[in-house]
Each structure stands twice: as structure tokens, then as C-alpha cells.
Structure 1
Amino acid sequence: MTYRTLISTSVLNQHLDDPAWVLVDCRFALDDPTRGERDYEQGHIPGALYAHLERDLTGTVIPGKTGRHPLPSVEELVERFSAWGIDANVQVVAYDDSGGSMAARLWWLLRWLGHEAVAVLDGGWPWWRAEGRPFRRGREWRSPRRFIPRPRPELVASVEDVLAALQDPSFRLIDARSLERYRGEHEPIDPVAGHIPGAICAPYLENLDARGLFRPAAELRARFEQLLGDTPPSRAIFYCGSGVTAAHNLLALLHAGLGEARLYPGSWSEWITDPMRPIERA
């Protein structure tokens, strides 16, 4: 069986020794970029590799031009995924300790390059430990394999695409940040507050229940059907602060059975690099 959206801790536990499965620990904290890697070395799911958001899952940041976490090049990702032992026959499982918000970045990157056998661990590291499942300290490595990319450009929206969408009522922009950041009431990260005009607010954390697990697919479907209205997912563009947590909404959308939409990877932090681009507050 291939897992394409979410996977449970119980199912993963049955595959810890499966050489055709690759586990990737994506723990990361914006306010302490070294914490996730330190935590990984202190304890991780047996066999898991570590992926650092800004070193492994982000391209070159160009001040004043890109957002905070631009996409790596295809060539960079091919080299990285190959080194991690990922090929077309491998099931990848990504996890973190923040409800899937970081793991969804790796999930999306693999799908963008045509690898569909990738899932996010529902509940992540906190649930794994709470259930008393095994863990290991230190670092781990895998034998490399050859990752062959099959890029899917239809999953990406450029800043030009977003500008065009502002003039086309058949498109919908969806902002994954908190309501306070969307309204411009509180902006702890980026130098300009607000949102892209016409965007609607859909905080990614609302995909989770009080336990930190993804809400049932039927609930997610109802949520996104309300957000999208008559707009088909193919004409929806999702963004956040830097193109990371918006992938959480894209994961939830697919898990809900509604298909795939586009990610604006530059997101708000790229949008505001040009003062001529319009913004809204409140």
C-alpha cells in the first residue's frame, strides 16, 4: 500500500525495519534554527534521517527579492533526495513536533518533483513518544539511491501568477497564517504586516483537532469546500509567510479528497519585497 497524505504511528511502527521506507525528521523552530537538529540527536524515530528546513529544504535567499524560504533548485533536491536513499520504489514518511507544519514542506517538495509515495506522520514526534514507541539517539545515514525527478510545474504559482489572479475573479487566494497576522494586527516575523488583497484567511492550525491530530477527512472536506466556494482547487493559490506552512493546507486539501491546488512559494515575505505590490490590512 502506498501512503500519499497521512500515516498513523501504528502503521509506521510496523515498517521501521523496511528498507523500502525512508523516515525523515523535519523538526525545526523559526526562533531557534538549531533546536530541531539538537532534539533529533537527543532522540528520534529509529532509522530517521534529519532534514533542516533552511539547509536542506530551502534554496538561496536573495535579500530584497526572494521570500524567507525560497524553493531549492530541482538539481539541489535531486542530489539531496538521492543521498537520503529515495528512489521511485521508496515510501517516504516525514514528521516533526509541530503538527506537521514543517514535515508538510518535505511532503510538498517530493510531490512537486513527482514522488507521490510520501506521507506525513499524523501526531508526529509527540504522539510517537506519548505512546511509548522506540527511539534512538545520535545520527543516522542511508545508502544512496538515484532519485529521478518528474517536475510538476502546475503545482507552483509565481508572483506573476498571483498578480494575474488578482484581476481574475475565478481564482481564490488562501492565506494559511493566523488571523492576527492576516489582518496585520500582529506581525512577529516579516517587516510589513497585512495580506495579499482579496485573500481569505484559513489558518493551517485549524486542520488539527485539540489533540494535535489532523481532523477527519470529512471535516477537512467541509472546511475547504466552504473556503473554496465555487472555485475549483486547480484555480486556488495557497500562501503563508514564507511558503512552508501553506503546504499544510495543501496536504489537508488532498487528504480531504478535493485534489491539488497551487502553492505560491515566495508567499508574503516575497510579496512585500516590492513596495509597488498592493497589500490589505484588517
Structure 2
Amino acid sequence: MKLSSIIQPEELIILSKNDFILFDVSAGSKPRYDEQHLNGAFYLDLNSDLADIKDFAIGGRHPLPAFEHFARLLGKYGVTKDTHVIVYDDKNGSNAAARFWWMLKSIGHEKVQVLNGGYTAATKAGFAVNAEVPSVKPAAPYQFTEWQLPLAAIAEVEVASNSNNHAIIDVRDANRFAGLTEPIDLIAGHIPNAINIPFTENLDADGAFLAHEILKEKYSKALTAYKIENVIVHCGSGVTACHTLLAIDYAGMPLPKLYVGSWSEWSRNNKKMILA
């Protein structure tokens, strides 16, 4: 039986602490982690651990790290092919938890789950917290040679932006998509031919993922006219796009392509765009 991509806080509580490795990947929240985090959790930094930041025009604000870097990172924390990894953040999975989930799935790691509702839901459910940094039991670097989940580079996105047979899903909020505001990147707007399905629509009023049946109905309807290999998902820098990929996987559907460079790359390369 396939392991669900989402784990509920109540399920986490009843697991033995020796049966999984827990990661806090709340971007920009290291001070909070140092003060208090879920018991036994290691901290990973989005910028230095889960990305290889260079020139934003080449790969966007959060390009994927080199294979060697990621392999050593996993080995450093004792992650092997048989390790059950559970990951959370403090923004309902959108901060970096879904990105780490996607990266692990993309190297063929099957036993990885995102904690539904993240840090807040776990503490409300009674999961223990403390300020202790757990001891590390390192392993050899994780062995893999490629990203196995589908990716789209900027050239393919450009082709898709001129095609009626492709769908480009932009998961940023409606105001950013419409070009009414742009708090991070240099230019406001969106990629031509893109459709806006904000990642926040994957969640209920409490910040938990909608039931998988609801998500399946939602995305089946949105993508019914397209072959899955012609669907590309993006955001600002390839992080929150993974939230929607996680939701699609949770719904039991095949995964579309991730455009890691996203708007941060596209908007810096003199590409056509719909502006405010």
C-alpha cells in the first residue's frame, strides 16, 4: 500500500520516535526553531540546504541544489533509502516542507510525508516541543543520479506559453498573478497562457489540506483538457509550486512538471509577460 503524502498530527503522535526522522524546514524561522520546535526535529534551511542560489536570471531565486550537495545533506542527518522522513514547516506546507517532499520523491525516496497543518497543528494536537537539537547519526551520502520527477526548463515553458495544448498553472496569489502587486521580484505580472490556481485553495479554513477526494475533483476538472505531460506548475521561485504538486499527489493523480525557475527566472529574461 502506497504511503500517503500527508500525515495527520494525531498519526505522528502515536509513532515511535525511533521509526522516523523529523525535519523542520520553516524558511527564515531558525530563531523560532532555536527557541522551540517539535521534539526531535532537525532544522534545514531553504536557501543553503534545499537550493543553490546564484544568479536569479539563471534558475530563479531557489534553483535545485547539486546532486552531491543534497546527497551529503541527507547522509549528514542519517537519511537512507529505508528512512521514514516526516517534514513540516510553519506555513501549512507552503514554506519549504512541500519543496523538501518533492526533492525526496524526485530522487526515488518513497517514505516521506508532510505533516498536515505543520507546526501549529502538531502543537495543538499535543505533540511535545522543546529547544534541544537532537544528536545526529550520520549515514553515507544518499545514492542517486538524477531528478526523477518531471521538470520543465524555461525554453519548454516558452513553448507552452504559445500553445493551446499546454497548461501553465501559476500558484501565486491572485493579486500577484494579476500584476497588482509584486513584493519580491522585479516585475509584476504573469506568464502568457498561464492560469491562476492559488496554492492556498488547497487548504481549508484551518490551514489543513482539503480531503483528497475534493482535491482530485478540483484538479481533474482544471486539467481535464490536457495531457499530464503538457501541464507545468510554477510559482515565484519553485517552492510554493511544490505545495500544489503535493496536493495533486495526495489526490492520487500523476504529477505535472515543475518549473523551478518560475516567475523569478522568467521575469528576468526579457520573456513575454502579461503586466499590470
Indicate the TM-score class for this superposition, using the shorter chain for normalisation: over 0.9
Q: Which amino acid aligns with 1:191?
A: L
Aligned match of 1:200 in 175, 195, 201?
A: 195
Counterpart residue number, 2:13: 13
Q: Which amino acid aligns with 2:127?
A: R
Q: Determine the C-alpha separation between the residues in 1 that align with 2:180 and 2:172.
A: 12
Q: Which amino acid aligns with 2:184?
A: I
Q: Determine the C-alpha separation between the residues in 1 that align with 2:58 and 2:176.
A: 21
CA contact (8 A) 1:69 1:244 kept: yes
Q: Taking structure 1 as reference, are residues 159 and 64 closer, same or farther at Cα in structure 2, changes over 3 Å only?
A: closer
Q: What's the secondary structure of 2:38's corresponding residue? A: coil
Q: Which amino acid aligns with 2:85?
A: V
Q: What's the secondary structure of 1:190's corresponding residue? A: coil
What is the CA distance between 1:180 and its match in structure 2? 0.4
Where does 1:1-282 land on structure 2 (aligned, <5 Å)? 3-18=3-18, 20-28=19-27, 33=28, 36-101=29-94, 102-146=96-140, 147-149=142-144, 151-275=146-270, 277-281=271-275
Structure 2 runs not aligned, ≥5 long? none
Runs of 4+, deviation exceeding 6 Å: none
What is the CA distance between 1:57 and its match in structure 2? 0.7
Q: Determine the C-alpha separation between the residues in 2 that align with 1:3 and 1:267.
A: 29
Once superposed, what is the RMSD of the aligned Cα atoms? 1.6
Instruction: Compute the TM-score of the two structures, normalised by the length of structure 2.
Output: 0.94
Q: Which amino acid aligns with 1:95?
A: Y
What is the CA distance between 1:16 and its match in structure 2? 4.3
Q: Percent identity?
A: 35
What is the CA distance between 1:4 and its match in structure 2? 4.3
Deviations 1:94-117 (A, max 9, x none): 101101002001001111111121
Q: Which amino acid aligns with 1:126?
A: T
Deviations 1:215-241 (A, max 9, x none): 001111111112212213332100000
Q: What's the secondary structure of 1:155's corresponding residue? A: coil
CA contact (8 A) 2:10 2:125 kept: no
